[in-house]
Structure 1
Amino acid sequence: MGSALWNLTLRFLLELAALLGLGMAGWSLSSGVWRWVAAPVVPLIAATLWGTFAVLNDPSRSGRAPIPVPGAVRLVLELAILFGGAIGFYAATYTTTAIIVALLIVVSYAFSLDRLGWLLKQ
C-alpha cells in the first residue's frame, strides 16, 4: 500500500500542477483583459472535463461517472490535461518546470501499469 500511496499523492500533485500550468498558459498566451479571463477559465474547463468524463467503477476514483466514457477516451483526456499543463509551463517560459512535470507524469504512469491495462479494457 505504501508504494501505491506515494503514486496517488504524485498523481494528485500532478493534477494540481496541470491546472496551474494551464492557467499560466492562459495568462501567458493572451493579453489585456483576456488574460484575466483565460487564466482562470482554461483550468476550470480542464477540471470540469476531468471530473465529468470518467469510466464507470474506476477504482482510482469514487467509482461514479457523471458522463461514462470508455477507458481509452479517459486515458486520452488525462494525458491531454496532464501534458497540457506541462506544455503550459513551457509556454509560460518555465522550461525546467515543464520538463520535470512531464517526466513525473511518465513516472506516475509507469508505476500505474495495472490501471492503464484496466482502462484500456473498459
Structure 2
Amino acid sequence: MGNAWWNLTLRFLLELSALLGLGMAGWSFPAEFWRWILALALPLVAAVLWGTFAVLNDPSRSGRAPVPVPGAVRLVLELIILFGGAIGFCLAGHAVAGIVMALLIALSYAFSLDRLGWLLRQ
C-alpha cells in the first residue's frame, strides 16, 4: 500500500486544513458565546475522533487502533471530517478555499485506491 510521498504530504495537509475549516465554521457562528465554544470544540472533537477510531494494522497509520472499527466506518469518518472542513471554509465565507480543498480531497483519494480497497475489505 505504497502511497507516493506527495500524496501522504497532501493527506496530512488536508487533515490540518479540515481542522482549520471546522474551527472557522465554528467561529462564523453569529452568537458570540457559541462562537468561542464551537471554534474550539469542532476541531478538537474531529481530532479526537480521527485519532481514536481506526482500523487495526492500518499501514497508513501507526497500525495501532485505540478503538478498532471496520474499514468502512473509518472511511466514512475520514470523509465526514475532511469534507466537513471543506464545507466549514464555505460556511465561513471562503468558498474558493472550500472548493479547492474538496477537489484536493478527491484527488488524494483517487491516488489512494489501494488503501480504499484495503479499508473496504476490513
Establish whether TM, by shorter chain, passes 0.5: yes
Aligned residues: CA RMSD: 1.2
Give the deviation of 1:27 after TM superposition: 0.9
Pair 1:56 & 2:53 matched: no
Normalising by structure 1, we get a TM-score of: 0.96
Alignment map for 1:35-74 (pairs within 5 Å): 35-74=35-74
Aligned positions, number: 121
In structure 2, stretches of 5+ residues that fail to align are none
The answer to whether the Cα contact below 8 Å between 1:18 and 1:81 also exists between their aligned partners in 2 is yes
Normalising by structure 2, we get a TM-score of: 0.96
Name the CA shift for 1:88/1:119 in 2 (closer, same or farther; >3 Å): same
In structure 1, stretches of 5+ residues that fail to align are none
The answer to whether the Cα contact below 8 Å between 2:3 and 2:112 also exists between their aligned partners in 1 is no
Runs of 4+ in structure 1 off by over 3 angstroms are none
Deviations 1:16-69 (A, max 9, x none): 000000000111124212111110111000000000000000000000000000
CA distance in 2 between partners of 1:62 and 1:50 (Å): 13
CA distance in 1 between partners of 2:64 and 2:24 (Å): 30
CA distance in 1 between partners of 2:111 and 2:37 (Å): 36
Pair 1:32 & 2:47 matched: no
The answer to whether the Cα contact below 8 Å between 1:24 and 1:92 also exists between their aligned partners in 2 is yes
Range moving further from structure 2, 28-37 or 87-96: 28-37
